[in-house]
Structure 1
């Protein structure tokens, strides 16, 4: 129940233990592209593995020394890479809080969609996200539909992802449809 059986596994060094007794009960949806708006590059993987060449693109200068990860990334073609075991704390949320509880990395699973706030996500990404969400809800039943949020919900004013391009209605329609 700690690794998706249908994802490629690439273990990131950027994680640590969840606090003792902390239950996973939140799913946070993010977006990422490196450079911004460019898809299919090797840079997301390099960032999460701590191997990003910050000289490879001018916009990467601000990422120097950054240690960040997510549990999973869903690429534009729907393929999934898992970087951190769900039982461990990935470093995806930063300064955050949900319903008065600070430090969302402690109790959340973070899923990154390769994308931007303004470019539509692919149907393959929605289908993979639904498959992943259902799997997570089976093993982590406290992640109910009302405990699935965007990064913008847990870090308002600081983060905007997954952005206006993410179709929450479509996602929940697929998630609630037993045939999809």
Structure 2
């Protein structure tokens, strides 16, 4: 951006640029959507998530991949099981993560759709049943702190789950995500605005 603000790449993240993004239609970032992903389902640490988000997933490497290799999706961040943060999309850009979804914006007192237009997507490597790691929670809090400092509209009431905004389609990050622990870490980080 030319407005003097640094670009939306988190310096502590490993950058893997995804082509699955485009400009935001308005200068608004006011929602954070938490997701969970594992590829193949229930397996961790492989290269498949990055391949999916960069359109390089090979359909015949696993039966499940054949069902999703055609998708053009991304997220701003992926937090791996060991706490590594990978960033795919500049946060000032629109990542393709929320899909068909809607969210009740308490400040505007209205249902909002097209959430990708004004939201950020963070994928946690995991599934509905496997507990997430401490390293993932700690990195997630670091990312949230950075995002909050960058986008003043973000606060704790504007952090939600994919399951909450697309309840008929999605369950992630699922019951394995410990919201109480996440909020405890945020509070301990002294984020008075969160």
Q: Which is greater in Rg?
A: 2
1:42 maps to 47
2:70 maps to 65
> Of 87, 102, 118, which aligns to 2:113?
102
> Of 139, 147, 172, which aligns to 1:128?
139
The CA RMSD over aligned residues, in Å, is: 1.2
Moved over 4 A (4+): none
Deviations 1:59-108 (A, max 9, x none): 11111311000000000000000000000000000001111000110000
1:4 maps to 10
- Separation in 2, partners of 1:111, 1:64: 20
**Post-superposition shift, 1:39?**
0.4
Aligned residues: 179
2:151 maps to 140
1:111 maps to 122
The question of whether the paired residues in 2 share the 8 Å contact of 1:30 and 1:112 is answered with yes
**Post-superposition shift, 1:141?**
1.5
The question of whether the paired residues in 1 share the 8 Å contact of 2:52 and 2:69 is answered with no
Task: Name whichever of 104-113 and 1-10 sits farther off.
Answer: 1-10
> Of 10, 16, 27, which aligns to 2:22?
16
TM-score normalised over the length of structure 2: 0.90
The question of whether the paired residues in 2 share the 8 Å contact of 1:25 and 1:142 is answered with yes
TM-score normalised over the length of structure 1: 0.97
Structure 1 portions without partners, runs of 5+: none
